[in-house]
Structure 1
Amino acid sequence: MTTPQRLEMVRRMQTAIATSYTTLGAWALLHPSSVLSLGFTPQYLALCNVTTSLFVRCWGAQAMTCGLVVGTSKMTPFSFTSFAVAMLPYIGWNFWQGLGPGRDMVTNFIWLDFAGNVFFTFGSLYCANLLREQEEEDKKKDI
């Protein structure tokens, strides 16, 4: 991959991650009842109340903030790697909800969240690798 191709791929991946976070966060912030109705089984949905809606809105605002930071930051190999590592607990949470004791609580839409978290993790690692390759290539040019 050439330098411009690497940098364009990193930019596209960063934009995809940022857009996903910001868009889904805005959805949770602006319409928490639809997020809850799609995400929880009827028996748990019956337990949702104003506080639950507030928590979903807070989660949405936090996701929007994350998306805006990722989208406007100059990401380095370290920051992409850190982001990937930070996604690992969410993947574990998805498994707990989808296959473990939480499986009766959530709908099968949990697997879309899982797929997104895997994309964020491996996409970030891929971007970190592309930027490291770029740094190594730049060092070779300086010698």
Structure 2
Amino acid sequence: MYTNDGFRELDRQECVRLLAEVPVGRIVYTRQALPAVLPVNFCLDHDDAVVLRTSAVSDLVSAIDGAVVAFEADEVHTDTRSGWSVVVTGTAALVTDSAEHERLLRTGPASWAPSPHEVFVRIEPELVTGRQLAAGNSLYGVRLPF
């Protein structure tokens, strides 16, 4: 069912399924009291948590460890004006348990920009929302831009 803005709301299960299909998303956080957005590669862990791998000395780690953040991933098809977007909101935390770190070295996301001292950051999914716009969906007979 489409809402009056032409988008269909996605349930949590569908959001998680879609997140698992894409390798890159964007983390939204606060940097120096201002909003910041950074593209990152990621994976979903067994409990649907979003896991990032980054340099231990990055500004990102110091800004998000223990903070509430948003994570967004999407897939857009400009030729058909269709696509979806999923947002995960939750607390980000540095993975400090050595056994968990070792497990994520095997199963977690591969680093696209390797550094000598990498860490994993886990975002616990407290709120998961998503929307989808199907190809050719219209509102009042007008194709919606997406």
Q: TM-score range by the shorter chain?
A: under 0.3
* TM-score in terms of structure 1 length: 0.24
Greater helix proportion: 1
Point out the structure with max Rg over C-alpha: 1
Greater strand proportion: 2
